[in-house]
């Protein structure tokens, strides 16, 4: 396992490393620097700062020490939104059932929070054979370090061979920390998961090089095999009220609380009437809108359709609309029944996030725009004429 060592003979007690450590893992004792490896994240800032080269990186392999055959189970982290289970969790449970069947093992779900025990049955009905529950007041609000410390302890105790989480803001913050603490491989933003049935390992597929290729990644030597998965790329597990499961209640260790972090408040962004990730209809705009004020055209159309507003990366980078509306490789992956692309050229980075939509309608003045290659219906023309006309016609039909 990797680590950092300070040569006390070379250390001159200058404290330069203390100032650059972002997690407060270094302190001075008797005029020499010491590192608290429980806090250290191996960012290596101290190594390059030390003027005497007293800080050295130690790299060791732990492959021989890890009995990977003792790890069993496909686990899913159950993400909570406003005291309800997020739909990404059900998508992961659906895939977990398939993976577990191929590995001849069980499906597990990690449920953390305060007053969340009542949610356990929902996870069981969606396919969880075991729910690892920790219900404690210290877990009421998500603090990534506290949650990570808690889950790492569960991993060490129960040894799952696979751990999945949503590629959400919360999931990305959490699982990267778990991977460090558990010394496990992690593949982010997966769009596909399968089992190599001969080797009994997880094949993780994700877009790479701007979406131009699909990379297949494996972690054959370490456990658990970990992946975050994009929302809306997998179907939800069906509800089966007859499915039986076991609730395993674990105790919470107060030492897992990250005392340097305090939850103050959560301010929810209220920029859209409809949740983009859950929307059945999405109206998206690109650079063809010319300026941010013209998103009002899309908002009028969305109001008539009961749709959410999406955007290309170019509009977000220009500051026209918040990042939460971005669809694409570096934004949201969506799977609505209808996706209306207005003034979006259709570069591969955007297509990765929306090409699985059931029906794609493209409006663009350029007849050679790449978006038309994936569109079911294409309108070549001026969107400033087409969209208002479409909105008026839909209003007339709605009012009949």
DSSP-assigned states of every residue in 192-210: EEEEETTTTEEEEEEEETT
Long-range contacts of 267-270 (CB under 8 A, 24+ apart): 269/322, 269/324
CA distance from start to end of the chain: 69
The segment(s) of the chain belonging to CATH 3.30.70.20 are 3-60
Three-state DSSP class for residue 117: helix
Distance CA 356, CA 9 (A): 60
The segment(s) of the chain belonging to CATH 3.40.50.1220 are 276-399
CATH of domain 68-256: 3.40.50.620
Going across the sheet that includes 281-285, the strands are: 308-311, 281-285, 338-342, 359-364, 377-380
DSSP letter for 168, please: S
Structure tokens at 32: 């020499």
The answer to whether domain 3-60 has CATH 3.30.70.20 is: yes
Residues 6+ apart with CB under 8 A from 51: 12, 14, 16
The whole-number pLDDT of residue 361 equals 94
The whole-number pLDDT of residue 2 equals 54
Element (H, E) at 164: strand 162-166
Distance CA 164, CA 238 (A): 18
Residues 6+ apart with CB under 8 A from 88: 79, 166, 168, 171, 229, 231
Structure tokens at 370: 């790449």
Query: What's phi and psi for 385, nearest 5 deg?
Result: -100, -40
Is 39 buried (19+), middle (13-18) or exposed (0-12) by CB count in 10 A?
Answer: middle
The whole-number pLDDT of residue 258 equals 81
Note whether 77 and 91 are within 8 A (CB).
no
The segment(s) of the chain belonging to CATH 3.40.50.620 are 68-256
Distance CA 205, CA 187 (A): 8
Which one, of 93, 260, 285, 68, lies nearest residue 182 by Cα?
68
Residue with tokens 């992946």: 227
Distance CA 92, CA 192 (A): 11
CATH of domain 276-399: 3.40.50.1220
The whole-number pLDDT of residue 271 equals 52
The length of the chain in residues reads 400
Dump pLDDT digits (tens) for 24-50.
889 998 889 998 887 887 778 888 889
Which one, of 304, 305, 299, 379, lies nearest residue 343 by Cα?
379
| pTM above threshold 0.85 | no
The whole-number pLDDT of residue 272 equals 53
Is the N-terminal amide bond of 321 cis, ω within 30° of 0?
no
Query: What's phi and psi for 80, nearest 5 deg?
Result: -110, 135
- For the chain, residues with pLDDT lower than 50 are 1, 61-64
């Amino acid at each position: 396992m990797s680590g950092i060592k300070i040569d006390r003979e070379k250390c001159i007690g200058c404290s330069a490393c203390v100032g650059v450590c972002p997690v407060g893992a270094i302190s001075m004792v008797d005029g020499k620097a010491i590192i608290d490896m429980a806090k250290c994240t191996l960012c290596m800032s101290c190594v390059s700062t030390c003027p005497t080269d007293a800080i050295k990186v130690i790299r060791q392999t732990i492959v021989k020490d890890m009995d990977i055959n003792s790890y069993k189970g496909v686990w899913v982290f159950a993400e909570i939104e406003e005291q309800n289970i997020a739909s990404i969790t059900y998508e992961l449970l659906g895939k977990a059932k398939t993976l577990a069947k191929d590995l001849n093992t069980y499906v597990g779900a990690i449920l953390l929070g305060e007053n969340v025990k009542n949610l356990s049955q929902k996870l069981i009905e969606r396919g969880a054979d075991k729910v690892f529950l920790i219900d404690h007041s210290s877990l009421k609000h998500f603090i990534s370090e506290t949650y990570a410390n808690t889950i790492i302890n569960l991993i060490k105790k129960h040894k799952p061979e696979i751990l999945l989480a949503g590629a959400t803001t919360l999931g990305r913050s959490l699982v990267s920390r778990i991977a460090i603490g558990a010394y496990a491989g992690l593949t982010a933003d997966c769009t596909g998961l399968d089992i190599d049935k001969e080797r009994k390992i997880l094949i993780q597929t994700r877009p790479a090089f701007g979406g131009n290729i699909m990379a297949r990644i494996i972690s054959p030597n370490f456990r658990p095999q970990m992946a975050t998965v994009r929302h809306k790329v997998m179907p939800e597990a069906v509800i089966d009220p007859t499915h039986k499961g076991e609730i395993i209640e674990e105790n919470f260790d107060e030492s897992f609380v990250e005392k340097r972090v305090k939850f103050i408040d959560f301010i929810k962004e209220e920029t859209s009437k409809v949740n983009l990730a859950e929307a059945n209809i999405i109206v998206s705009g690109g650079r063809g809108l010319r300026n941010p004020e013209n998103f009002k055209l899309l908002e009028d159309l969305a109001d008539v359709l009961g749709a959410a507003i999406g955007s290309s990366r170019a509009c977000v980078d220009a500051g026209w609309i918040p990042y939460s509306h971005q669809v694409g490789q570096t934004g949201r992956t969506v799977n609505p029944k209808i996706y209306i692309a207005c003034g979006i050229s259709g570069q591969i980075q955007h297509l990765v996030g929306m090409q699985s939509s059931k029906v794609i309608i493209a409006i663009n003045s350029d007849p050679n725009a790449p978006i038309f290659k994936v569109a079911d219906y294409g309108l070549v023309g001026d969107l400033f004429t087409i969209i208002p006309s479409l909105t008026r016609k839909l209003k007339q039909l709605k009012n009949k």
